């Protein structure tokens, strides 16, 4: 095998090892996985509210100043994070008793999306408010979460 092919193979191997290590590091920061049952209400201007009961998983990632609350059902509960995209912003109101993030972002056509997600770390109560385009569509989810892995002490 030529030295050029060996170098390319070595570089590819190093790239994949680094990429795997980075992904493993990021995933290792999962503090907790929550199973949440919420009552969801969706309001659209001029229409009756649409109400349903939803069960969703919310994963909490916390590392230093980074906090991310990621739901597996973003139509019911928005995923919010201390990272921003598309000219958006976030406000972290969290403390030792609650995770509380507000995220503002903008769609391709300029529609404002204002999402706030709060989880009480003592009771498991969850409240999510989603405001799309200044009230054109408003979603509200309220309920309770419990830990998926009961051996984790932190909630």
Give the tens place of pLDDT for each residue, 46-77.
Answer: 899 999 999 999 999 988 788 899 999 888 88
Q: By C-alpha distance, which of 47, 48, 53, 46 is closest to 141?
A: 53
Domain contains 13: no
Range of the domain at 90: 30-147
Query: How many domains, the chain?
Result: 1
* Residues shown for the chain: 155
Local confidence band at 81 (pLDDT 50, 70, 90 cut-offs): confident
Domain contains 112: yes
Domain contains 12: no
Local confidence band at 117 (pLDDT 50, 70, 90 cut-offs): very high
Domain contains 19: no
What is the CATH classification number for the domain harbouring 121? 2.40.128
């Amino acid at each position: 095998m030529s030295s050029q092919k060996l170098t390319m193979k070595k570089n590819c191997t190093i790239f994949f090892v680094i990429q795997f290590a980075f992904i493993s590091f990021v995933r290792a920061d999962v503090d907790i996985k929550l199973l949440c049952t919420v009552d969801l209400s969706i309001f659209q201007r001029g229409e009756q509210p649409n109400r349903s009961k939803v069960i969703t998983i919310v994963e909490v990632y916390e590392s230093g100043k980074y906090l991310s609350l990621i739901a597996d059902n973003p139509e019911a509960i928005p995923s919010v994070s201390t990272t921003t995209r598309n000219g958006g912003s976030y406000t972290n109101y969290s403390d030792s008793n609650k995770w509380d993030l507000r995220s503002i972002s903008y769609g391709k056509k300029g529609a404002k999306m204002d999402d706030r997600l709060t989880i009480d770390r003592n009771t498991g109560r969850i409240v999510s408010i989603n405001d799309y385009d200044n009230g054109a569509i408003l979603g509200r989810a309220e309920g309770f979460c419990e830990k998926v892995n009961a051996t984790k002490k932190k909630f």
